[in-house]
Amino acid sequence: MTNDGGWDRRSLLRGAAVVAGAAAAAPLLGKAAIAEPGISDADALYEAGKFEQAGRAYEQILKTDPTSLHAARRRGYVGLLGNKFRDAEKYLKMALTLAPGDKETNEYLGDCYIRQDKFSLAAPRWQAAGEEGYAKWFAAVRGKAYEIHGDIARVQWQQLDPFPLVEASVNGGTPKRFTFYTGAPNLGVSSKVAKEAGLRAVAKQEIDTGVWVNYGVLESFKLGGIELRNVPVSWSVDDADTGNDGLIGTWLFYHLLTTFDYAGRSLILRRPTLEATGRIRADAERAGVKPLPLWLGRDHNLASTGSITGSTAGSGPRLMGVNFGGMSGESVAGMHGEVAKRLRVRTDYDRPLETGAHSHPTVAYPCYPKEIRLGDAVAKEAYCIADANNPSNTPYPYGDGVDETGYFGHCFFKPYNITLDFTGMSLYIARGKAT
């Protein structure tokens, strides 16, 4: 759900590291609430990941105090987490009326518009949020973005580890090797691929000291039997050797009915029609697979409901980040150091891992929870990592102010196939290959 406190979307463009964690929420560690009448209870529900109850609480506050910027903005963001765009727009516009220059409100509303491919409306909001590169990029998108051609694609993975690779065609060219990662936002290509495809930069942004990225619009991106046209894309000015030709992020996947078939080593993409989503739901029901909630935070971070159990304590059902692809390493999950201590997870402090997360140094420790669970998917006494430097709650602009528990990583999903339905905001996880 939220960022780990040490990076933002700019540093993320430099690549995903071994300890990357778009982790999610749990009421494990109390935080001081904003001193506003009635706001503390609503904030407590929000920080606990009880978004529906929090939304109702913020609405109640606004009935008695329609000038509460915090309540209006939070209520709008709650709607955005569940892709309930009407609710999100209603309350974020209310917040914008109260404070037109508020960067947080403008960013959330800008995200709301890009999720609906309303790029002309998104551009001024990102400009007001201080993201000039994004604003110029989105203003340059003309016509219908992410136009889908084809109904289904089954793309075999060229490799599974250290990260998955699939083949895709850029502007009708020869197949290129792409990794994917839902901890990243947009589609990215290498500078070499950008040059071959004839891409033109419409904006340029420094994402770190001396590190620049270009933004443009790709005419065609084809994965098996699915082609997307008019796709926002980025590429670095100077490439490092990453072992691939680009990275597919969450923005592309949320336009489709996406199955990450780890067990079958394939990526299955469907046009998100009512018929296709209905078939997925019916197949899951017949197989006894219950839908789990899906949340989308800060334009690309995915979360669902899972749990971590230590030697003598368990978190119970809490929000957990779900990261598909892109994460090299052997750990099946990650958690914050404070969470590991609180849950009494067996942790090997004698073997620190001095590593990095999203271009920033950090120290992590091997840990072995008694059990981690996502629906019926379970791993027992599995190798995980506890990040000592990752804070338990990260407010805007690096996070969304939710108490964090942990995340499920690449290795956790290997026995399973996972389907993400961004229309119904549901996650389905089942053992074995997808049918």
Domain boundary assignment for the chain: 28-139, 147-269, 273-431
Counting residues of the chain whose pLDDT is more than 70, the rounded percentage is 89
Res. 187 pLDDT band, cuts 50 70 90: very high
Structure tokens belonging to residue 221: 């991106």
28 HSE (CA, 13 A, CB side): 31
Domains 147-269 and 273-431 share a fold: yes
Q: Which CATH architecture has domain 273-431?
A: Beta Barrel (2.40)
d(CA 308, CA 372) in angstroms, rounded, equals 5
pLDDT in tens, 62-99: 999 999 999 999 999 999 999 999 999 999 999 999 99
Q: Give residues with Cβ within 8 angstroms of 358, minimum separation 6.
A: 4, 6, 7, 11, 12, 14, 16, 17, 20
Q: Parallel, antiparallel, or unpaired for β 371-374 and 377-380? A: antiparallel
User: Mean pLDDT score of the chain, rounded to an integer?
Assistant: 89
CA 28 to chain CA centroid, Å, is: 22
Nearest to 425 by CA among 295, 267, 256, 260: 295
Residue 5 in this model has a pLDDT that exceeds 70: no
pTM to 2 decimals? Answer: 0.90
SS3 330: coil
Asked which of 2-16, 29-43, 203-217 is least confident by mean pLDDT, the reply is 2-16
Superfamily holding 147-269:
Acid Proteases (2.40.70.10)
Strands (E) located in 209-277 = 211-223, 226-236, 246-248, 257-261, 266-270
Diameter of the chain by CA atoms?
Answer: 61
Query: Is the pLDDT assigned to residue 394 strictly greater than 90?
Result: no
What whole-number distance in Å separates Cα of residue 123 and Cα of residue 301? 21
What CATH number belongs to 28-139? 1.25.40.10
Q: Tell me the pLDDT band of 209, cut-offs 50, 70 and 90.
A: confident
Q: How confident is the model at residue 36 (pLDDT cuts 50, 70, 90)?
A: low
Q: How far is the C-alpha of 392 from the C-alpha of 28, rounded, in Å?
A: 9
pLDDT band (50, 70, 90) for residue 18: very low
Residues 6+ apart with CB under 8 A from 204: 133, 212, 213, 214, 215, 237
Least confident of 169-173, 219-223, 325-329, 358-362: 358-362
pLDDT above 50 (res 290):
yes
Quote the crossing angle between the two packed helices 69-81 and 51-64, to the nearest 10°: 150
pLDDT of residue 359: 60
320-351 pLDDT per residue, tens: 999 999 866 889 999 989 899 999 999 999 99
Percent of the chain with pLDDT over 90: 77
| 8 A C-beta contact, residue 1 and residue 22 | yes
